[in-house]
Structure 1
Amino acid sequence: MTPSAGNSSVRVLLVEDDLRVARVNRDLLERDPEVHVVGSAATCAQGDALAQALQPDLILLDVHLPDGSGLGLLRHWRGQGRTTDVALITAADDEASVRLALAHGAFDYLIKPFTGLRLAEVVARHRARRLSAAGGVPRLDQASLDRLLGVTPATTSTLPRGIDPHTLERVALALAEADGAVSAEEIGERVGLSRVTAWRYLEHLVREGQAQLDHQYGQAGRPAKLYRHTGPSASTAP
């Protein structure tokens, strides 16, 4: 099953032999109401079977499993032509494991322990890659390819102080996926930021012409500030 470009729902398969860690990761992921953990496997064999049966959008894969290596399972999937986004989540912190994972097509690599925010970043990058890959365009320019690969352009070094390029990408993506104008508080809840931090990033997008500011009148006190993506809504993308 291939998710549509306008569908921000993410179906996740966990392959993790530590049941406590799997439960914690599930709880962290499902803080986002549009992320659904559709299966959990404790071995390579179970992970392979569930990947075939469930066709998840995103697989979070441990390296050290009772019946083999997650790296071998990843290599097996790529050999079969399976292009599902796979992120390694593991205590394996040696450079050789990281290089093998990337060589076999892992799009991200998290070393335990990690923060909930870093795990949310995996989902955000998956969504961004999915949107970049959608649309049926036969050829890619370099900017589009960089977005698909998750490469941060060198021009981000000119961002104002206090504006992180990865956080900016997540805020811009959340705004593009929103149905109409939204508040800084709503974007903050979606991305995992405080209202003030989300507001700062949204104001930067307004200054760059990537968002527009609307005011909601008719209520007591100051008018509410609402932000709208200036391009086509992600929910209406072809």
Structure 2
Amino acid sequence: MIRTVVVDDDYRVASIHAASIDRIPGFTCVGRAHTAEQARQSVRELEPELLLLDVYLPDEDGLSVLRGLNAEGTAAPDCIVITAARDLGTVRTAMHLGAVYYLVKPFGLTQLRNQLEAYRLWRQQASGTGEADQETVDTLYSLLRGATDHPGTGALPPTMRKVLEAVRSSREPLAASALAAQLGISRPTAQRYLSELHRRGALELDLEYGSAGRPVHRYRPATR
């Protein structure tokens, strides 16, 4: 289980995030903190592996907490920043301090769940031993970069990624035949990728019934 501490000055938001964490397989929320000092104390006493860290705290900003944890010389927990701060300076600082991701409030619980599941997959992939070739490194980075997609769509094969982007950019739901003509691939290949993306939750399926015969399967981006 990935031991997680939620740090947010809003008690209600912290409670919602804690409950969400406990519903995700592989995670457990071991504590909540509402100030910078409480966050430091929670890290010392509970030894979490992950922080969900807000920037705006009443006594100090969350990035100062992260900076201090990194400077202590012991292994600091991983950190996902969750904040309403949108300025690029704050984003750059969070990245420089090693935050594995940055979620801008407001965000949906589905987006939070997707990011946590991507983080769990990243941990599993990164926990091995030995040397990593460039493909392995690229996959590890892509797992977190693509985590705002639905689970399992962060490190897609190139053709599947093109299929997903084509559906997302289309003004209307796409059938496999239209997609195949657009991308220059066979219809069975297009259908296979569409079906897999639908299975992963990235696409939704519309059935269009005509006067006779089987319904036409058309795909559109999944709503969050």
- Are residue 121 (structure 1) and residue 114 (structure 2) matched? yes
Aligned residues of 1:11 and 1:38 also touching (Cα < 8 A): yes
Q: Normalising by the residue count of structure 2, what TM-score does the alignment of the two structures yield?
A: 0.64
Name the counterpart of 2:159. Answer: 158
Greater RCO (Cα-Cα under 8 Å, separation 6 or more):
1
Give 1:146's match in structure 2, choosing from 138, 152, 164. Answer: 138
Q: Give the partner amino acid of 2:94.
A: A
C-alpha distance in 1, partners of 2:52/2:61? 14
Aligned counterparts, 1:62-211, within 5 A: 62-81=54-73, 82-137=75-130, 139-149=131-141, 150-151=144-145, 156-159=157-160, 161-162=163-164, 197-198=198-199
| Aligned-residue identity in percent | 35
Closer, same or farther: CA 112–154 of 1 in aligned 2, 3 Å:
closer
Closer, same or farther: CA 155–59 of 1 in aligned 2, 3 Å:
closer
Q: Give the partner amino acid of 1:158.
A: T
Aligned residues of 2:34 and 2:57 also touching (Cα < 8 A): yes
**Superposed CA offset, 1:208-238 (max 9, x none):** xxxxxxxxxxxxxxxxxxxxxxxxxxxxxxx
**Superposed CA offset, 1:82-112 (max 9, x none):** 3421000011111111111001100100111
Aligned residues of 1:87 and 1:122 also touching (Cα < 8 A): no
Indicate the SS of the match to 2:79.
strand
C-alpha distance in 2, partners of 1:66/1:18? 10
> Which protein shows a greater Rg?
2
Give the gaps of 5 or more residues in structure 1: 1-8, 165-195, 202-238
Name the counterpart of 2:20. Answer: 28
Cα displacement (A) at 1:53: 1.5
C-alpha distance in 1, partners of 2:59/2:201? 48
CA RMSD of aligned residues (A): 2.7
Name the counterpart of 2:52. Answer: 60
